[in-house]
């Protein structure tokens, strides 16, 4: 059993932080159903123009697993930066938990894994490179992204449907506002040679849900098992800030492009 999370506070903080709507660039496909098991199994997809199959970065919203929406993308500019670099982008909804049991959290993670599988199954139609997937999220979405990188593979060649036969794993992982629940859900799943990890922790120690110690915990475990990892904070919260002259959007973009093997024009 996972220790009880103070969900309402986590949801409030996360949604206030992720209040910017990604209205600048309309998705190529909106409210695409990636599964039929739940009404919230939908995603938006922005298709990058490219003559070659494109990598995909998927964003998972926060909200304490009890609220939130795929429109709550923290940066208006990040989508356009990815598209201009030839990287497609997706933002994903997922079911909310009904109770605070390990099984409920795992169920949510598996729904999100299905979203990754759905996108991979669209590789020919949407010009996607199946081998280059990244996932990043805020708060609860950070845990989801990390689970997709370090958790179990849910795809199986024996699956009866096409989507179920492809991989649910991602090759790069990102965390914004690493939350309470990190140790219970993720730390034990991190193994040697896991996907590279980008962490941005801008909350202060007064934020019990997103205390900087959780981000430090992830960095320490990544270093221990030799996962490539960068951790940035504000400086004021005890975590070194981004390199001088680099914004959080720029550092995240550069990290994902580097490990998705995307050449960015200088």
Q: Over the stretch 54-87, which tens digit does the pLDDT of each residue have? A: 999 999 999 999 999 999 998 879 999 999 999 9
- pLDDT of 233-262, one tens digit each? 999 999 999 998 899 999 999 999 999 999
**Is pLDDT of 132 > 90?**
yes
- pLDDT of 93-126, one tens digit each? 999 998 888 999 999 999 999 999 999 999 999 9
Predicted local confidence at residue 12, as pLDDT: 44
What DSSP line would sit under the chain, residue for residue? -PPPP-HHHHHHHHHHHT--B--SS--SEEEEES-SS-TT-EEEEEPPP-SSPEEEEEEE--STTTS--TTB-S-SSHHHHHHHTT-EEEEE--PPPSSSSHHHHHHHHHHHHHHHHHHHHTHHHHTEEEEEEEEEEETHHHHHHHHHHHS-----TT-SSTGGGS----SEEEEES--TTHHHHTGGG--TTPPPEEEE----TT-STT-HHHHHHHHHHHHHTT--EEEE--STTSS--PPTT--HHHHHHHHHHHHTT-----
Predicted local confidence at residue 245, as pLDDT: 85
Between these two residues, 161 and 265, which has the higher pLDDT value? 161
Tokens of 216: 């430090």
What is the mean pLDDT of the segment spanning 5-15? Answer: 45
Is residue 168 within 8 A of residue 113, CB to CB? The reply is yes
Query: What domains, with CATH codes, occur in the chain?
Result: 7-259 (3.40.50.1820)
- pLDDT of 198-235, one tens digit each? 999 999 999 999 999 999 999 999 999 999 999 999 99
Percent of the chain with pLDDT over 70: 91
Predicted local confidence at residue 16, as pLDDT: 42
Predicted structure pTM score? 0.91
Predicted local confidence at residue 22, as pLDDT: 42
18-28 burial, b if ≥16 CB within 10 A, otherwise e? beeebeeeebb
């Amino acid at each position: 059993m996972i220790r009880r999370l103070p969900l309402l506070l986590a949801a409030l903080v996360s949604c206030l932080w992720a209040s910017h709507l990604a209205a600048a660039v309309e998705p190529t496909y909106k409210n695409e159903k990636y599964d039929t098991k739940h009404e919230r199994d939908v995603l938006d997809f922005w298709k990058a123009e490219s003559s070659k199959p494109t990598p995909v970065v998927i964003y998972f919203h926060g909200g304490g697993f009890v609220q939130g929406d795929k429109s709550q993308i923290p940066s208006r500019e990040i989508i356009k930066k990815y598209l201009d670099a030839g990287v497609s982008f997706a933002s994903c909804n997922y079911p909310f938990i009904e109770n605070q049991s390990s099984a409920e959290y795992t169920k949510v993670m598996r729904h999100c894994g299905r979203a990754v599988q759905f996108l991979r199954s669209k590789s020919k139609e949407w010009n996607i490179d199946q081998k280059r997937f990244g996932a990043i999220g805020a708060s609860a979405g950070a845990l989801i992204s990390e689970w997709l990188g370090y958790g179990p593979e849910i795809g199986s060649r024996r699956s009866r449907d096409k989507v179920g036969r492809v991989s649910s794993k991602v090759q790069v992982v990102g965390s914004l506002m690493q939350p309470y629940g990190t140790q219970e859900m993720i730390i034990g799943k991190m193994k040697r040679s896991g996907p590279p990890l980008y962490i941005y922790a801008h909350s202060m120690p007064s934020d019990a849900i997103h205390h900087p110690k959780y981000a430090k915990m992830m960095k320490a475990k990544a270093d221990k098992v030799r996962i490539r990892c960068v951790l940035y904070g504000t400086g004021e919260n005890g975590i070194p800030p981004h390199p001088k002259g680099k914004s959080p959007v720029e550092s995240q973009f550069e990290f994902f492009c580097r490990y998705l093997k995307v050449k960015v024009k200088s």
